[in-house]
Amino acid sequence: QIAEVHERRSEYEPAINWVEKGLNYLNGDEQSNEAARIYLIGARTFDHQGRLDKAMDWCQKSLAIASGIKTREAQQTTAQAYTRLSAICLLRGDFDLSIPFCQESIQIYQEIEDTAGQIGPYIIVGMAYFSLGNWGQAQDAFDKSLGIATAIGDIDGQSRASNNLALIHLARGDWDQAQLLFEQNSNIWKQIGMAKD
């Protein structure tokens, strides 16, 4: 958890140090969901550093461990690992690879009835479709993500989904709808004190 706090603050070196400490505490017993989660935090940290090969490797280690454990928590970790893999593929420009990873993640989240977990993979798959020029499928994915985020009150999810919807409207030349979405987004962030004029 300390590693995760550092990672979210973009303090990557301390994050990796704590990840390594976490792995050392396992004393070689890495067949647990905790080990899978530690590898996933490491993968996310390497991803944000732009070390995509290392991120992919650690993500696959997380997936290999978590997918063999039959608990709800491990299924969540598995879904998170697929989402991270899809994000890495998106950054690499491997859009056709990103899509099935997202679909796998969404399916797992649906099976365990984790509605909130679906927001991220829907956004990523929408970005992959958008990058491939499949604007209809991209909009459908963003709409689903926005619907979930709105229903559960996830401001960050609403923001990311509506921003991406605005980009589709921009690409289609629908300037008014794009501007409306950008303005709504800005107002949401101002209300919660996360944006300035």
Which residue carries 């004029």 as its tokens? 197
Mean pLDDT (the chain, rounded) = 90
pLDDT band at 193 (very low <50, low <70, confident <90, very high): low
- pLDDT of the residue at 195: 47
Residue predicted with more confidence, 185 or 53: 53
On the question of pLDDT at 35 being above 70, the answer is: yes
The answer for residues whose C-beta is within 8 angstroms of residue 140's C-beta and 6 or more apart is 126
What's the average model confidence in pLDDT over 78-93?
96
Residue predicted with more confidence, 157 or 57: 57
- pLDDT of the residue at 63: 95
On the question of pLDDT at 48 being above 50, the answer is: yes
- pLDDT of the residue at 58: 95
Q: Phi/psi of residue 147, each to 5°?
A: -60, -45
What's the average model confidence in pLDDT over 17-46?
88
pLDDT band at 186 (very low <50, low <70, confident <90, very high): confident
* pTM of this structure: 0.88
Most confident range (mean pLDDT) of 21-25, 124-128, 166-170 is 124-128
How far is the C-alpha of 66 from the C-alpha of 32, rounded, in Å?
7
Q: Summarize the chain as % helix, strand, coil (round to 5).
A: 80, 0, 20
Q: What ranges in 26-118 are assigned the alpha helix state H?
A: 33-49, 52-66, 72-92, 95-111
- pLDDT of the residue at 191: 67
Query: Tens of pLDDT along 89-144?
Result: 999 999 999 999 999 999 999 999 999 999 999 999 999 999 999 999 999 999 99
- pLDDT of the residue at 197: 43
